[in-house]
Amino acid sequence: MENIANGVWKYRWGEPEKHTPTTYREFEIQHEALARLVCGGKPPIAQRDIHVARSSRGVRIELPLGADEQVYGFGLQLHRVNHTGRKKMIRVNSDPVADTGDSHAPVPFYVSTAGYGVFVDTSRYATFYCGTNLRKGDSASKENVKRSIGTSESELYAYKGTDVSRSVLVDVPAAEGIDVYFFEGPDLRTAVQRYVLFSGGGCLPPMWGLGIWYRAYSAARKDDVMKLAAGFRKERMPVDVFGFEPGWQTRAYSCSFVWDEERFPRHQEMLDRLYEMDYKVNLWEHLFVHPTSPMYDALSPHSGDYEVWEGLVPDLSIQEAKRIFADHHREAFVDRGISGFKLDECDSSDYVHSNWSFPDVSSFPSGMDGEQMHNQIGTLYQSAILAPFEAAGKRTWSQVRASGALASPYPFVLYSDLYDHKVFIRGIVSSGFSGLLWTPEVRQAASAEDLIRRVQTVIFSPLALLNCWRIPNPPWVQVDREKNKAGIVMSDYESVQRICRELFELRMSLIPYLYSAFAKYWQEGLPPFRALAMDYPDDAAAQQIDDAYMMGDSILVAPLTADSSERTVYLPAGSWRDFWTHERYEGGSSYSFAYGLDRIPIFVKDNAILPLAVPLQHVREDAVFELTVRMYGDSPKECLLFEDDGNSLSYREGRYNWVRLRPGAEGAGEVERRGSFEGMKYKIKEWVSFK
Amino acid sequence: MENIANGVWKYRWGEPEKHTPTTYREFEIQHEALARLVCGGKPPIAQRDIHVARSSRGVRIELPLGADEQVYGFGLQLHRVNHTGRKKMIRVNSDPVADTGDSHAPVPFYVSTAGYGVFVDTSRYATFYCGTNLRKGDSASKENVKRSIGTSESELYAYKGTDVSRSVLVDVPAAEGIDVYFFEGPDLRTAVQRYVLFSGGGCLPPMWGLGIWYRAYSAARKDDVMKLAAGFRKERMPVDVFGFEPGWQTRAYSCSFVWDEERFPRHQEMLDRLYEMDYKVNLWEHLFVHPTSPMYDALSPHSGDYEVWEGLVPDLSIQEAKRIFADHHREAFVDRGISGFKLDECDSSDYVHSNWSFPDVSSFPSGMDGEQMHNQIGTLYQSAILAPFEAAGKRTWSQVRASGALASPYPFVLYSDLYDHKVFIRGIVSSGFSGLLWTPEVRQAASAEDLIRRVQTVIFSPLALLNCWRIPNPPWVQVDREKNKAGIVMSDYESVQRICRELFELRMSLIPYLYSAFAKYWQEGLPPFRALAMDYPDDAAAQQIDDAYMMGDSILVAPLTADSSERTVYLPAGSWRDFWTHERYEGGSSYSFAYGLDRIPIFVKDNAILPLAVPLQHVREDAVFELTVRMYGDSPKECLLFEDDGNSLSYREGRYNWVRLRPGAEGAGEVERRGSFEGMKYKIKEWVSFK
């Protein structure tokens, strides 16, 4: 075993494949940040306990798993958070309808409550059997307790646990050798941080990226767009980013990457007008290149041997293909003010009613096959789109529908067409284990209640997105699609709009706190959105929770869904304060909470300091946040805010401050700034104590 | 290309794997029957049009597919019948929730409307891309028609067809070589017959197997069983086979294969009493062997390296393991009168809430790995269970939840826990293309209407099964599970029971017709239940139908589901007669039909002769069917009935008759018997003409 960074170990067996996630690594291991983490200095799994074998199928890896260990990770997992006793296949796929491991962003990485992480460096559809089976004979030696006869499937197939040590079996197809990386703890959370820092650290959004996003109707024309944009400002609905769906292009399935001058005549004028109104503009696309695209001929020799939707599949692992793709995006879009993209359809599908994407047996000029390309294409695509922004010295905050291993440095947030609200909440809980970001976007809603409950979840996520591609008017005036298209408003739309506005404003007030949580993600590898099991790995109740999560270090979010205005919230060890009533609750217990439509269950750690900004309508470059600083409890602990220009890449050269908020004399607080950023993004409006 | 039988061609590329379906073939190619089919004498696909390549992933095969060709097959496929434009993975799996190819009985075989079949001899999870993608550049040369912008997923992802020749791409993991078999037509139906005869021909059920089956409550005890059994006879509800669910064994998950003397004291007395009442008895089991089983120690050395549910996974491809397994079944069950088994849980699962079965990376003493074993275990298990019946010279009619390639000779009918009624109907339509049999079993029902509509479907299937494992009382007295358990009957149970009785009697009256259709399956390889696309491959409307099917040569069945008492039925070319009203309809058109709860849309070919028996309560060895022979139309065509002892294997030695029913003088009919069976199973009661 090779110690490749502080607390990171590499075990090589045989001759690994040429195309793996580390082959396409773009960001360096963050050695300095890793060195700042406590480290035991020995591999969490001893080499003698690792068993690897090769067959015609590929490589089989057997790793030990203690009877008590709980396993998390595998990227964005929408159907389950705790994977103990389960089988997970690492295969990129849209609309994963069942708990198979298929995901928009599957990652061959897991962490254990025993305080370590394991990354298998492969782009294959590897399968992880997490203690699913005992070895032959292990049950014969156990005491055999007779069970009652089941009369339902759930009784028959229930996972019954075990008191015997098991293994994690990893099935890596096609490979003849493998690199396995082990990440020390001492605890689960630190193991995750190590994996993120090994990936290159977390991304830092521009501050405007944390505002409200609105994506407009797919068939919208220029006038429709301008009417919506003016409407938000007029009605004081905070919106930072305006998103165009497929209709902006001359061809969308596959893509021309060219503005449609019929729907959007003089489109640059329209864009400039939107910029004047302080909107950032985000464009939908996917990466399949239509024959009418100006990139077609140049990309053709660098593309796979099968088409998707009449379009080329460019091999973006080839530098020349990436350059052609990035250059077009820079010239046509980034240099003309476009702030980001929504990278759709890069995930492939086996589960929608008409499956699509290139075959796993495709071949690509780089030598990758379709299977490898499927699991790599999400990050390669992010890399190609990020390039023009990096070249221009600008940050982007974008969306992507496929991602994977080592992806935490990419400033892209995942989304999905799966739309069950509980599934979407679970996505926030699960994605952090692999250093990924996920938005539970709001699209259609079954009712005004459903709309509001979904908005409440999305404002506590990395991207506060309303994706209204199927409706011409905002959902807060009409949730029913047909009525929305007919321009009929809901009778109670004013109160629905008011509640939405207040929730958007709540999001805007949380930007400084949230931005600072992202700065920790960048510097320390700590995901801003985390499962309770990550912060409380030894808490048996927290281990199973998939419907509540931490946002930053101080806030616990427990969303409600439309089926009930009441829910149970488990609060882990320590004291907690209700965000709304400030009431104190002792942790280690579950409580039932009921909230009206305008509130969501949020809890703040007692003795935390929480800055809330006066909500802006949008975050301009010169924005300054006026803070009301809440100080909870008898001995509030220092709170750190990250401060920089919020837009450029100068933070990487150290042009930032850490602003410390702490209790001062006479119930007020005091502020200390450290760092080399000369501007000032935060201004204290008031200090408020809740003893 | 090697011509290995009349109209059957073999193409070998590289060095095929050691463990494939043909490796474990138990039944010989039916050369004589194949020789009776019309044959063009040349391979349906020329060798120069077949492209095979090898990579580290395995073997990739490319076969031509014309722009107009429609593709069917791939075994039991519950979510789609016509696979053109789709990707299908051949992986055995229970509860396939989406249209991925996963199935209880996936088969690497497809047929085309162009009149040929292709079988890829592999036990791997092969994937077939049926014209899903064009080759790079093919779209650039097409006229590119601009499409409107989609505003819904169904618009975006709709399969748009093509006017360009495509290919079928086959992805065979792990293999270094492959055998591909091609089956000539001239038409699709004949290609299917060739595949079935290549597999060894179709199975022939015992006549009692075509009666009504009832599986009792999982937690039933001896008294409960006897009460049910006596009740059916008393209330004149025809039942031939009584099924025991898991509770009969001392251990069920995994299995002990030993009667539980606590729930069933003196079980042999109980069985003998059931036999006296003319019941056949069928026992539930699966093949995972519990440590307390008497077979455990003997099977242990012949088992895979991982357990399932605390039990061994015996490698039944090893002759000694098969012998141990078969001997126990013979001594403990078959020699004691048990007529068959229900082989559960042999399919593995990735889709239920707790996935189970052995890992794909398991290894088995034969050298098979888990992947190969998963796709083979269904037929290996059927083989081991069939062995004691063959040794005893008896037929069985049994159930199995996993099957695969070359399985048509096994007298086992597939079933599933997926329970959507339309999905279940589709299973009947799809399974015939690969020579498989499927029962849309009736379990719970949402309402009395749902129960009756489901019974109507199941009586027009290979196995007329009510699987009441979750309810202690028959569903016709109470469909609600909780009320059923509490012994509360429905207010209208008498009319529900009456309708069920009449439907059971309808099934009983169809036994001679159905049994004869099975004899054609055995002799000619023609599946008794078939899609309309099999009999009318050139009919564009028939190509898409997945909710109606042929039963035998003369009857078209178009089931209703609980959501409507009306439906559209497409009748292909020719004249058709309503089974109930005898009204004539011209084919080549669709009609809307409405039926009350006691009727199901059934159509008989005009000029067919259809024998209907006076319904028996059950089919004893000495049963004689009294026939009312319906003669439709002006020039009824001869109808052939198969006649033998209905129980033994003597039909294989030619001890059977073909009984010819044809029009005679003066509106009556005449009967001619040819063959060497000396008994007489059919007696004419009357001839009825419908001009």
pLDDT, tens digit, 9 for 90 and up, residues A46-100: 999 999 999 999 999 999 999 999 999 999 999 999 999 999 999 999 988 899 9
Who contacts A570 (Cβ-Cβ below 8 Å, separation ≥6)? A532, A541, A542, A545, A548, A589, A590
Helix and strand tally (H, E) in chain B? 14, 32
Residue from the list A56, A85, A150 with its beta carbon closest to the beta carbon of B174: A56
Nearest chain B residue to A247 by CA distance is: B149
Decide: A411 and A397 in contact? Cβ < 8 Å: yes
Report phi then psi at A462, rounded to 5: -65, -20
| Helical (H) or strand (E) element with A62 | strand A58-65
Contact A153 B100 (CB under 8 A): no
pLDDT for position A161: 62
Average pLDDT, chain A: 96
Query: What order of strands is seen across the sheet that includes strand B602-605?
Result: B529-531, B549-551, B555-557, B602-605, B575-578, B584-586
pLDDT for position A354: 77
CA nearest to B537, candidates B8, B69, B42, B40: B69
Who contacts B455 (Cβ-Cβ below 8 Å, separation ≥6)? B442, B466, B500, B503, B504
pTM above 0.90, yes or no: yes
Which residues in chain B touch residue A363, judged by CB atoms under 8 angstroms apart?
55
Q: How confident is the model at residue B145 (pLDDT cuts 50, 70, 90)?
A: low
Average pLDDT over residues B491-519: 98
Nearest chain B residue to A125 by CA distance is: B57
Per-residue pLDDT tens for A460-488?
999 999 999 999 999 999 999 999 999 99
Beta-strand relationship, A412-414 and A464-467: unpaired
pLDDT for position B164: 78
Helix, coil or strand: residue A388: helix
Nearest chain A residue to B87 by CA distance is: A355
Which residues in chain A touch residue B153, judged by CB atoms under 8 angstroms apart?
352, 417
Average pLDDT over residues B486-501: 97
Q: How confident is the model at residue B453 (pLDDT cuts 50, 70, 90)?
A: very high
pLDDT for position B142: 73
pLDDT for position B143: 67
How far is it, in rounded angstroms, from Cα B235 to Cα A191? Answer: 68
Which residues in chain A touch residue B97, judged by CB atoms under 8 angstroms apart?
97-98
Average pLDDT over residues A216-245: 97
Residue the block writes with tokens 């969303």: A559
How far is it, in rounded angstroms, from Cα B510 to Cα B529? Answer: 14
Contact B355 A86 (CB under 8 A): yes
Interface test with B, best of A89, A122, A355 (most B CBs within 10 A): A355
Average pLDDT over residues A233-249: 97
Report phi then psi at A372, rounded to 5: -60, -40
Residue A163 has pLDDT above 80, yes or no: no
Q: How confident is the model at residue B45 (pLDDT cuts 50, 70, 90)?
A: very high
Helix, coil or strand: residue A650: helix
Q: What percent of chain A has pLDDT over 90?
A: 92
Which residues in chain B touch residue A153, judged by CB atoms under 8 angstroms apart?
352, 417
In chain A, which among 260-279 make CB contacts under 8 A with chain B?
A: none
Per-residue pLDDT tens for B395-416?
999 999 999 999 999 999 999 9
Min Cα distance B525 → chain A (Å) is: 33
Residue A146 has pLDDT above 90, yes or no: no
Which residues in chain B touch residue A129, judged by CB atoms under 8 angstroms apart?
359, 361
In chain B, which among 15-34 make CB contacts under 8 A with chain A?
A: 17
Q: How confident is the model at residue B316 (pLDDT cuts 50, 70, 90)?
A: very high
Angle made by CA atoms B163, B75, B420, in degrees to the nearest 5: 95
Interface test with A, best of B139, B141, B315, B366 (most A CBs within 10 A): B139
Per-residue pLDDT tens for B149-204?
777 776 666 656 667 789 999 999 999 999 999 999 999 999 999 999 999 999 99
CA nearest to A565, candidates A400, A453, A689, A430: A453
pLDDT for position A157: 66
Give the number of other CB atoms < 10 A from CB of residue B337.
13
Average pLDDT over residues A620-641: 97
How far is it, in rounded angstroms, from Cα B268 to Cα B265? Answer: 9
Query: CB-based contact (8 Å) between A154 and chain B?
Result: yes
Query: CB-based contact (8 Å) between A652 and chain B?
Result: no
Nearest chain B residue to A164 by CA distance is: B310
Give the number of other CB atoms < 10 A from CB of residue A573.
14
Min Cα distance B332 → chain A (Å) is: 22
Cα A468 to Cα A438, A439, A474: the distances in Å are: 18, 14, 7
Q: How far is C-alpha B189 from the chain's CA centre? A: 17
Residue A619 has pLDDT above 80, yes or no: yes
Report phi then psi at A425, rounded to 5: -65, -45
Average pLDDT over residues B373-384: 98
Decide: B171 and A359 in contact? Cβ < 8 Å: yes
In chain A, which among 69-128 make CB contacts under 8 A with chain B?
A: 85-87, 89, 97-100, 127
Residue type, A65: L
Who contacts B75 (Cβ-Cβ below 8 Å, separation ≥6)? B90, B103, B105, B106, B107, B109, B403, B404, B405, B431, B434, B436
Min Cα distance B131 → chain A (Å) is: 11
Residue from the list B98, B138, B470 with its beta carbon closest to the beta carbon of A152: B470
Min Cα distance A514 → chain B (Å) is: 33
Which residues in chain A touch residue B134, judged by CB atoms under 8 angstroms apart?
306-307, 310
Average pLDDT over residues A164-175: 94
Per-residue pLDDT tens for A496-538?
999 999 999 999 999 999 999 999 999 999 999 999 999 999 9
pLDDT for position A352: 81
Strands in A439-548 per DSSP E: 464-467, 529-531
Per-residue pLDDT tens for B326-339?
999 999 999 999 99
pLDDT for position B150: 73
Residue A304 has pLDDT above 80, yes or no: yes
Contact A100 B351 (CB under 8 A): yes
Residue from the list A246, A247, A306 with its beta carbon closest to the beta carbon of B133: A306
Q: What percent of chain A has pLDDT over 70?
A: 98
> Taking the CA of residue B418 as centre, how many other CA atoms within 13 Å lie in the half-sphere pointing to its CB?
28
Contact B138 A307 (CB under 8 A): yes
Which residues in chain A touch residue B369, judged by CB atoms under 8 angstroms apart?
55, 57
Q: Tell me whether residue B7 is exposed, middle or buried, using C-beta atoms within 10 angstroms of its C-beta: 0 to 12, 13 to 18, 19 or more.
A: buried
Query: CB-based contact (8 Å) between B157 and chain A?
Result: yes
Per-residue pLDDT tens for A554-607?
999 999 999 888 999 999 999 999 999 999 999 999 999 999 999 999 999 999
